[in-house]
Amino acid sequence: MIELRREWIAAALALSAVGWWYSPISPRALPFPAQAPGFAQPCRPPPRVAAGAEPLQTAVPGELRPFRLQAGTLTPLAGFSIDARVLSRRDYRADRLADFAPTDLAVGWGRLNDDAVVARMRFKQEVRFVTYYWDREPPIPVQEILRSSANLHIIPADAQVARELKRTRADAHVRVDGWLVRIDSRRGWDATSSLTRDDTGAGACEIVYACAIQVR
């Protein structure tokens, strides 16, 4: 009986170690696309949004060229700067976007920064979508929830951005400065970021090539 218990304990410890290694707090490196060999274009952030303001979307400068990564090309569609609360996060390993965006952040601003509002809601991310739940009545109007939240597919521009992305947790506040992009994969598929905060459903997520991330 003692030996059997020891075997169960050893198995439980092994499973815990595996779970820790693949969790967001693991020290392993996040899979993010490296720049193509010989390509050294820096990712310069767009104009920054004021703290606590709604997301800022700006025009693409004429001199900004597409970002060429090993997995494909990112064409900038708009500058994007957001200062928001992290409602939920999820890492992806196996879908086609994972070659570019290893992590999705569901974020909220306005009254979705309010602890009392968020405490009455639940958030679930799966297959690159985020779903909102509440008991009985929503804490604020549904249309306000939709207009005050976004699901960001984050493409880290470099190792430092990837490290900051790894640090993000639900209920933290995060600033993301980068570019909304269209992905043209070397595997023959493409995906285009939403350019409005008012849409829902397929195609409504923001695909962000993140030049900088700050977590606090």
Cα torsion 98, 169, 210, 50: sign: positive
Q: Give me the pLDDT at residue 15, please.
A: 59
CA distance 120 to 112: 11
Whether 153 contacts 96, CB under 8 Å: no
**pLDDT tens per residue, the chain (216 residues)?**
445 455 665 555 655 655 555 454 455 555 555 555 556 678 999 999 999 899 999 999 999 999 999 899 999 999 999 999 999 999 998 899 998 999 999 999 999 999 999 999 999 999 999 999 999 999 999 999 999 999 999 999 998 999 999 999 999 999 999 999 999 999 999 999 999 998 888 889 999 999 999 998
In degrees, to the nearest 5, what angle opens at C-alpha 51 toward C-alphas 192 and 203?
A: 15
In this structure, what are the phi and psi dihedrals at residue 44, rounded to the nearest 5 degrees?
A: -90, 125
Please list the helix, strand and coil fractions of the chain in percent, rounded to the nearest 5, in that order: 20, 35, 40
CA distance 62 to 197: 24
In degrees, to the nearest 5, what angle opens at C-alpha 53 toward C-alphas 52 and 58?
A: 135
Q: Give me the pLDDT at residue 94, please.
A: 87
pTM of the model: 0.83
Among residues 161, 159, 153, 150, which one has the least CA distance to residue 208?
Answer: 153
3-state secondary structure of 142: helix
Q: Give me the pLDDT at residue 141, please.
A: 97
Q: Give me the pLDDT at residue 11, please.
A: 58
Q: Give me the pLDDT at residue 66, please.
A: 94
Q: Give me the pLDDT at residue 193, please.
A: 98
Contacts of 91 (CB under 8 A, 6+ apart): 24, 30, 102, 103
Q: Give me the pLDDT at residue 203, please.
A: 86
Pick the CATH number of 43-215 from 1.10.10, 3.30.2450, 2.40.50, 3.40.50: 2.40.50
Give 87: exposed, middle or buried? Use CB within 10 Å, 0-12, 13-18, 19+.
Answer: buried
Task: List the domain boundaries for the chain.
Answer: 43-215
Contacts of 164 (CB under 8 A, 6+ apart): 213, 214, 215
